[in-house]
């Protein structure tokens, strides 16, 4: 089946002055920008290189020029023109086609009560994109705002009614609680300073736009013909299906543009295209991959100023403007290199231990398949809270900042000894060799008193593993006669040791001078005791007063020795969810099951442990995905798959039981 790509690109540098929204009749202005039309041109050139037909690319721009406005009225980014161009795509695209929508310009909010800034403040029921509006070039002359609700209805209809696959990129602010007057790094903010009275001025064009969208929104009509007014305004873009949305910044942050070489660009747009250009002629990377790259570049560029962190909504593992879905290993970045030592962007807080091995690869590798990549190996020498220093094992000259780092072999924080009984088992020597492949594991000598794990043989000639004199349940059944018994035992113990070590991360606080007070955040899972197949609900509540909020990631440590990222799901595209007192998180429904037993003595009553990982909201979300583990198989003959489980986020980090 032939797939056609379509695009609509909107860039607004020029904003008309006007008094249509003025309560006193005075002419108002919106600050012009310098890089939005350049963004459109840069994206356009990329799409042409991607062999998208020029006739399938719509452009709406408003250019600042000494000669005055260059575009005619039909080519300006207005609500009516955006509607016309999207309708053109909707009418001509076929099921399975790919659609790209890009907006560069000012953003705002339309639901706030702040008297100082047009875009400031939150409603109690806000979602991340709720109340968001794109500022069209003519809003002060009487044109309508393009709200997130409007755009969401249009995009949803493309997905549901026409079967199109959509990517949306919004290089603008849509909040602004962290408004600043400027920056010493040459970044101009895409944010507005306009009286709230202007914002509250609803014009005929706004009412007409809302009415037209409401008519399109089939979900607005229920059995009674009515729906709650708050629900009406919640944009589909916040939780889309068949669509991925990239935004330039988080809810409490600001988007910026700056000079790159000789032209201004939005920093999100620039780094997105800069990475995508490396993949021309091959499959494009995933949305999550692109956002991770942009985030790294923006933070590196702004020298620790963390006021802009790109966000992603929808399926982050789907190919950017493509049809593939990737199952990607969690990756960190090489931050810097000095000689043969590199600094990695993960540390003790993510479970990194001294001796861990990482595979390094350039971020612009054409083949997205991890298996097909060529790697440079590095071993961790020292570990800090959120970074670690590793030694390049082959002294590769090409490794540089921006390379990706994938966990190859974990290491434990401290040495754990394993006692094997009886001591004269033939597998003892081989078992010890396999144990020591995990830094931090070793075979106990003569005294069993120092052993953290003890391995015995049961009456049915299967191996049992004990920890603190308690038999560990639901482990693979490994028989004494199994010719791979030594390796399987070592792999099982390595997995369990990793699991226990990571579970203890929740008991440790990596404090610094900006540590979040414990009483400002709570996690409640109710009910605390259930029968199999019952539902439970997790509630995450932030009661702090900081407008910067916090980033949260919820993990479950299951009785089958799996570590699962519960919220956000690995397939959601988001590293973590942002929350503040004004923007609470929705309750998280959970479905509980009891995994099968590997031994008749395994307990029927099981326990799931939920751990909430939190980081400050004024910077990018800290990624904890490296800690995910798949569950251990009950059948020891099970072969670990080379393809990770997308629900678990398995990262190829678990040694296979059999080659």
Q: Are 93 and 158 in contact (CB under 8 A)?
A: yes
Task: Please name which of 146, 147, 15, 169 lies closest in space to residue 79, comparing C-alpha atoms.
Answer: 146
Within this chain, do residues 258 and 387 fall inside the same structural domain, yes or no?
no
Whole-number Å distance between alpha carbons of 360 and 606: 39
Q: How far apart are the C-alpha atoms of 10 and 7, rounded to whole Å? A: 10
Across 373-381, average pLDDT:
87
Q: How many structural domains compose the chain?
A: 4
* Residue 589 token pair: 């429904």
Domain end call among 448, 470, 504:
504
Residue 658 predicted with pLDDT over 60: no
Q: What is the pLDDT of residues 308-340, one digit of tens each?
A: 778 888 888 889 999 988 766 788 889 999 999
- Output the domain CATH number for residue 107: 3.40.50.1460
649 — pLDDT class (breaks 50, 70, 90): very low
Is 22 contained in some domain? yes
pLDDT score recorded for residue 67: 79
Q: Is the model more confident about 141 or about 534? A: 141
Q: What would the mean pLDDT of 355-372 be, rounded to a whole number? A: 69
Of 569, 430, 566, 560, nearest to 495 by C-alpha is: 560
Is the confidence at residue 598, as pLDDT, over 70?
yes
Predicted pLDDT at 550: 87
Residue 48 confidence (pLDDT): 97
Q: Are residues 139 and 35 in the same domain?
A: yes
Q: Are residues 128 and 274 in the same domain?
A: yes
Residue 220: band (very low, low, confident or very high) from pLDDT cuts 50, 70, 90: very low
Please, are residues 119 and 176 in contact by the beta-carbon 8 Å criterion? yes
Q: What is the pLDDT of residue 528?
A: 84
- pLDDT given at position 190: 58
Question: How far apart are the two ends of the chain, measured CA to CA in Å?
Answer: 38
pLDDT for 130 equals 61
Determine the pLDDT at residue 173. 75
- The arithmetic mean of pLDDT across residues 590-614, rounded, is 86
Q: What is the pLDDT of residues 252-274, one digit of tens each?
A: 667 778 889 899 999 899 999 99
- Assess whether pLDDT exceeds 90 at residue 452: yes
Does 295 have pLDDT greater than 90? no
Q: Residue 637: which pLDDT band, with cuts at 50, 70 and 90? A: low
CATH of the domain at 602: 2.60.40
Query: Residue 321: phi, psi to the nearest 5?
Result: 50, 50
Mean pLDDT of the chain: 81
Cα separation of 279 and 287, whole Å? 13
Indicate if 547 and 425 belong to the same structural domain: no
- Please report the pLDDT score of residue 121 as a whole number: 34
| Domain housing 440 | 416-504
pLDDT above 50 (res 343): yes
Residue of higher predicted confidence among 71 and 544: 71
Evaluate if residue 641 carries a pLDDT over 50: no
Percent of residues, the chain, with pLDDT higher than 70: 80
- Of residues 302 and 391, the one with the higher pLDDT is 391
Asked if residue 633 belongs to a domain, the reply is no
pTM score, whole prediction: 0.70
Residue 227: predicted pLDDT: 26
Most confident of 41-50, 276-285, 570-579: 41-50
Q: How far apart are CA 649 and CA 659, in angstroms?
A: 22
pLDDT for residue 504: 84
Return d(Cα 655, Cα 600) in angstroms, integer.
27
Cβ atoms of 178 and 254 closer than 8 Å: yes
Would 486 be classed as within a structural domain?
yes
User: Across residues 18-24, what is the average pLDDT?
Assistant: 87
What confidence tier does 436 reach under pLDDT thresholds 50, 70, 90?
Answer: very high
275 contacts 295 by C-beta, under 8 angstroms: no
- Looking at 314, 342, 377, which one is the last position of a domain? 314
- Residue 461, classed as helix, strand or coil, is coil
Q: Residues 293, 399: one domain? A: no
pLDDT of residue 229: 26
Q: Does 15 reside within a domain?
A: yes
Q: Which residues contact 27 (CB under 8 A, 6 or more apart)?
A: 17, 18, 19
**Which pLDDT value is given to residue 171?**
92
Instruction: Quote the pLDDT of residue 586.
Output: 83
Using the CB atoms, write b or e for 573-600: b if 16+ within 10 Å. bbbbbbbbbbbbbeebebeeeebeebbe
131-140, 302-311, 527-536, 618-627: least confident range:
302-311
Residue 387's CATH number: 2.40.10.410
What confidence score (pLDDT) does residue 103 get? 96
Q: What are phi and psi of 13, to 5 degrees?
A: -95, -30
pLDDT band (50, 70, 90) for residue 509 = low
One domain for residues 350 and 285? no
Per-residue pLDDT averaged across 540-553, rounded?
A: 84
Same domain? For 137 and 17 the reply is yes
- Phi then psi for residue 160, to 5 deg, are -80, -40
For 604, counting Cβ atoms within 10 Å of its Cβ (0-12 exposed, 13-18 middle, 19+ buried), the class is: exposed
pLDDT in the model for residue 271: 92
Cα-based torsion angle of the residue sequence 97, 103, 104, 106 in order, rounded to the nearest 10 degrees: -170
User: Does residue 338 belong to any structural domain of this protein?
Assistant: yes
* Statement to judge: residues 461 and 579 lie in one domain: no
Mean pLDDT calculated for residue range 146-173: 92
Average pLDDT estimate for 415-442:
92
pLDDT at 131 over 60: yes
Q: Do 101 and 111 form a contact (C-beta atoms < 8 A)?
A: no
Q: Does residue 90 share a domain with residue 140?
A: yes
Share of the chain above pLDDT 90, in %: 41
Sheet arrangement for strand 463-467? 441-443, 416-420, 451-457, 463-467, 470-471
What pLDDT, on a 0 to 100 scale, did the predictor assign at position 302? 60
Is 45 within the bounds of a domain? yes
pLDDT band at 511 (very low <50, low <70, confident <90, very high): low
CA pair distance 464, 455, nearest whole angstrom: 6
Which of 173-187, 358-372, 643-657 has the lowest average pLDDT?
643-657
**pLDDT exceeds cutoff 80 at 545:** no
The pLDDT of residue 440: 94
Does the residue 639 lie in any domain? Answer: no
Quick check: 458 pLDDT over 60? yes
Distance CA 30, CA 19 (A): 11
What radius of gyration, in Å, describes the C-alpha atoms of the chain? 27
Domain ends where: 459, 480, 504? 504
Per-residue pLDDT at 626 exceeds 50: yes
The DSSP code sequence of 403-448 is -EEEEEE---SS-EEEEESSTT-TTHHHHHHHHTTSTTEEE--S-G
Query: What's the confidence (pLDDT) of residue 210?
Result: 87
* 493 or 187, higher pLDDT: 493
What integer is the mean pLDDT of 86-90?
Answer: 97
* Dihedral sign for Cα atoms in the order 369, 309, 154, 42: negative
Instruction: Assess whether 116 and 45 both reside in one domain.
Output: yes
490 pLDDT band, cuts 50/70/90, is very high
Kindly state the average pLDDT of the residues 168-194.
54
Query: Does 309 reside within a domain?
Result: yes
* CATH assignment of the domain containing 431: 3.40.50
Quick check: 648 pLDDT over 80? no
Kindly state whether residues 183 and 251 are assigned to the same domain: yes
Confidence category of residue 475, pLDDT binned at 50, 70, 90 = very high
Q: Are residues 84 and 140 in the same domain?
A: yes
Q: What is the pLDDT of residue 198?
A: 54
């Amino acid at each position: 089946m032939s797939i056609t790509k379509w695009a609509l690109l909107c860039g607004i540098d020029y904003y008309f002055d006007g008094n249509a929204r003025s309560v006193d009749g005075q002419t108002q202005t919106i600050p012009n920008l310098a890089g939005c039309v350049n963004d459109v041109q840069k994206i356009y050139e990329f799409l042409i290189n991607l062999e998208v037909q020029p006739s399938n690319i719509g452009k709406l721009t408003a250019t600042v020029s000494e000669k005055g406005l260059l575009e005619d009225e039909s080519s300006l980014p207005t609500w009516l023109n955006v509607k016309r161009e999207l309708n053109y795509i909707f009418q001509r695209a076929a099921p399975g086609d790919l659609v790209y929508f890009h907006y560069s310009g000012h953003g705002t909010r339309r639901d706030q009560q702040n008297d100082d800034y047009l875009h400031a403040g939150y409603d109690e029921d806000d979602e991340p994109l709720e109340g968001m509006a794109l500022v069209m070039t003519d809003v002060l002359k009487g044109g309508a705002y393009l709200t997130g609700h409007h755009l969401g209805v249009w995009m949803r209809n493309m997905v549901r009614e026409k079967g199109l696959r959509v990517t949306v990129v919004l290089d603008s602010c849509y909040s602004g609680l962290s408004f600043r007057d400027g920056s010493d790094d040459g970044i101009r903010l895409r944010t507005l300073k306009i009286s709230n009275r202007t914002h509250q001025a609803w014009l005929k064009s706004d009412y007409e736009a809302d009415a037209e969208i409401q008519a399109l929104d089939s979900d607005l009509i229920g059995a009674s013909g009515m729906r709650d007014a708050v629900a009406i305004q919640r944009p589909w873009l916040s939780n889309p299906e068949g669509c991925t949305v990239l935004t330039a910044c988080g809810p409490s942050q600001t988007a910026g543009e700056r000079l790159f070489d000789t032209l201004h660009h939005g920093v999100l747009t620039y780094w997105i295209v800069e990475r995508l250009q490396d993949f021309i002629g091959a499959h494009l990377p995933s949305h999550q991959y692109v956002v991770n790259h942009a985030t790294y570049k923006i933070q590196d560029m702004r020298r620790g100023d963390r006021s802009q962190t790109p966000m992603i909504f929808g399926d982050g593992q789907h190919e950017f403007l493509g049809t593939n879905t990737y199952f990607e290993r969690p990756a960190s970045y090489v931050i810097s290199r000095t000689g043969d030592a590199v600094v990695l962007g993960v540390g003790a807080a993510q479970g990194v231990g001294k001796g861990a091995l990482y595979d390094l690869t350039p971020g612009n590798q054409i083949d997205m398949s991890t298996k097909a990549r060529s790697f440079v190996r590095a071993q961790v020498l020292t570990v800090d809270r959120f970074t670690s220093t590793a030694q390049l094992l082959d002294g590769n000259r090409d490794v540089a900042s921006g390379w990706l780092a994938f966990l190859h072999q974990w290491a434990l924080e401290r040495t754990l000894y394993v006692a094997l009984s009886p001591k004269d088992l033939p597998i003892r020597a081989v078992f010890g060799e396999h144990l020591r492949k995990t830094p931090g594991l070793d075979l106990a000598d003569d005294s069993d008193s120092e052993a953290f794990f003890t391995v015995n043989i049961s009456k049915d000639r299967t191996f049992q593993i004990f920890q603190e004199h308690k038999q560990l349940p639901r482990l693979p059944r490994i028989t004494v006669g199994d010719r791979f018994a030594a390796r399987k035992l070592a792999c099982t113990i390595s997995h369990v040791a990793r699991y226990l070590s990571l579970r203890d991360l929740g008991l440790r606080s990596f404090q610094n001078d900006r540590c979040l007070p414990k009483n400002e955040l709570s996690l409640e899972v109710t009910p605390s005791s259930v029968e199999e197949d019952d539902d439970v609900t997790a509630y995450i509540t932030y009661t702090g007063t900081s407008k910067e909020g916090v980033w949260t990631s919820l993990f479950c440590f299951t009785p089958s020795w799996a570590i699962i990222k519960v919220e956000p799901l690995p397939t959601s595209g988001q590293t973590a969810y942002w929350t503040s007192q004004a923007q609470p998180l929705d309750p998280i429904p959970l479905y509980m099951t009891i995994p099968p037993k590997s031994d008749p003595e395994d307990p029927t009553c099981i326990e799931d442990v939920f751990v909430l990982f939190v980081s400050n909201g004024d910077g990018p979300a800290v990624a904890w995905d490296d800690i995910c583990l798949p569950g251990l198989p009950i059948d020891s003959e099970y072969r670990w798959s080379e393809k990770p489980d997308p629900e678990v986020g398995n990262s190829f980090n678990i040694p296979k039981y059999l080659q």
